[in-house]
Structure 1
Amino acid sequence: MIEQWFPNVNWDKMWEATGETLYMTAFSTVLTFIFGIALGLLLFLTSRGQLWSNKFTNVITAAFVNIFRSIPFIILIILLFPVTKMLIGTLRGPNAALPALIIGAAPFYARMVLIALQEIDRGVIEAARSMGAKTSTIIFKVLLPESMPALVSGITVTSIALVGYTAMAGAIGAGGLGTLAYLEGFQRSREDVTIMATILVLVIVFIIQFIGDLIVKRLDKR
């Protein structure tokens, strides 16, 4: 039955493309989570009245975040061609998309991290400081645990955005469902290939959202 609805779909290629999309999304999400939290913490801690209050560092970090989260992703990929070539050695395939995915998503997520940290009750932080807690203790025992539901919610939204980014990267040969939908579907006028690739992207998005919501519910003690 399904072959009748999607006669032009090569299922081996479709599952391979799905695996590439999952690989790009998972790998870039993990590194985006790490770098995004680092950037968000730096923005928060160097802001006025915080532990590492430093206007210069805060302005430079904020400028970096604002610039890279504002560049349209397809343009960012092109701008990063030299960096990608140097790091990966090629401009095609799933690995070649990773630098642009991470650099594009980490600043976006860093802003979410900053918002989550700013919502923490200042009294909790001041209490930890008054008891002589080290900065590392405040970060790992107060800031991150208190903001974790919001951080998970933010990385869920970012992961879904990354799925969309991988599809855009597919237009320039990054692999995954985006490449398959563009080359095998759009360029060859095979609408069923494009539709099936779209359905699989939606399934991935729904699964990410479901898992993210589940984790947030378990973390949120309110």
Structure 2
Amino acid sequence: WLFFLGVLATVFLGWAALVGVPGVQIGASFVPSYELGGDFYDFLRLPPDNIGIAVCDVVGKGVRASLLMASIRASLRAHASSIYDMGEVVARVNRDLCEDALTSDFATLFYAVLDYKSRRFTYANAGHPSPMLIRDGQVSELAAGGMVIGIEPMYRWRCDSLLLRSGDVVIIYTDGLSEAMNFDDVPFGRERIADAAKAAIAQKQSADGIVRHMLWAMRKFAGLQTRFDDLTLVAIKVL
């Protein structure tokens, strides 16, 4: 049963949505911890020329976290299919979670829509680590955000947007990456995340290659130290 749920957590990945998308590469990886957790990423093909991108981290471990993850993903897909306002989508997912979950249940959620023809990237962030935009070797944060989902049913999230350029890379991750510890209890941290991403970009890696390089850098740093949290990493590269 636990094995089945672990497999369930890894198949909610939406890769079919990316078939035939021009001008952009997306690489992603989900690395489970030794405990059953609640990370997921998902991709949604949205009309007319849009891709929805979601990364979520449910608090807690075990069967409950995995079931909450499945519930949030279903709610997100139901609302995203008919609403273009990212803040409104997150608000509705939040209300669903507040109605259905315990008061101790919450999650971080980053949800964005990329118009792959205009290259406009619009997002809402509910308590998630700020994604990174790497442009011409410089790192900036996609800093707009708000509180986690599952706490306040009437909370509203603000959207922000930017126009991506050829060569831009957006890195989205859960705290399982930034908080991965080495044997001296030093976390991998945002600076090492940025350095690993920039190194891969300098090598002209694909989006998949950027993800693989970053995970290799984390594993080299952490060694065989036990990880207590799931790790999710998404790289979006504009061609």
TM category, shorter = under 0.3
Q: Which has the higher strand share?
A: 2
Q: Which has the higher contact order (CA 8 A, sep 6+)?
A: 1
The structure carrying a bigger helix percent of its residues is 1
TM-score by length of 1: 0.25
* TM-score normalised over the length of structure 2: 0.24
